[in-house]
């Protein structure tokens, strides 16, 4: 049997690693803010797709599993709202870019960076510790493997 301490770090480590990959994709959007429109559009699309996939995995494999526990209700509803806000901001940024509104895209990117960072910290600091304790070993393993997949 695995020692408890190793299990305790697993979901948080998997979340953190997945978040750092999202940060890199988002950083590549920021680096392209003043470059050719096609390159920025491609990078925004890649971040959008990766974020949507990541958020869906979290909602399916972690949030939904914890949803029956009343002590998680408030946190999960805040985290789901953050997912929605990030997806919406990203969608608006892509529309604005298509419309040639670069200044708006820059403002949205700043807003997105703050929201993404805050959301990731929220999950790593507030969700992961409690989730480690409440998820079954099987659920935790499924979530960790899915989050770790490229």
| Chain residues in the site for Fe ion (CB under 5 A) | 58, 123
Closer to Fe ion by Cβ: residue 47 or 97:
47
Closer to Fe ion by Cβ: residue 16 or 41:
16
CB of 116 to Fe ion, least distance (A): 9
CB of 146 to Fe ion, least distance (A): 12
CB of 92 to Fe ion, least distance (A): 19
Closer to Fe ion by Cβ: residue 75 or 92:
75
CB of 124 to Fe ion, least distance (A): 8
d(C-alpha 130, C-alpha 86), whole Å: 24
**Taking a C-beta distance cutoff of 8 angstroms, is the pair 68, 103 a contact?**
no
Closer to Fe ion by Cβ: residue 48 or 58:
58
Reading the block at residue 75, the tokens are: 């946190």
CB atoms within 10 A of CB 85: 14
DSSP 45-62: HHHHHHHHHHHHHHIIII
Alpha carbon distances (Å) from 8 to 12, 41, 56, 71, 145: 8, 39, 23, 19, 15
């Amino acid at each position: 049997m695995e020692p408890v301490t190793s299990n305790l770090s697993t979901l948080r480590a998997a979340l953190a690693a997945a978040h750092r990959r999202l940060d890199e994709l988002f950083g590549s959007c920021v680096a392209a803010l003043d470059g050719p429109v096609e390159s920025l559009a491609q990078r925004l699309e890649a971040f959008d797709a990766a974020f949507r996939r990541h958020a869906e995995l979290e909602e399916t494999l972690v949030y939904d599993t914890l949803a029956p526990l009343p002590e998680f209700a408030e946190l999960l509803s805040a985290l789901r709202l953050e997912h929605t806000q990030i997806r919406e901001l990203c969608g608006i940024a892509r529309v604005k870019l298509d419309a040639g509104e670069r200044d708006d895209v820059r403002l949205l990117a700043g807003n997105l960076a703050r929201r993404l960072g805050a959301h990731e910290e929220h999950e790593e600091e507030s969700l992961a510790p409690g989730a480690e304790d409440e998820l079954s070993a099987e659920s935790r393993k499924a979530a960790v493997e899915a989050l770790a997949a490229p």
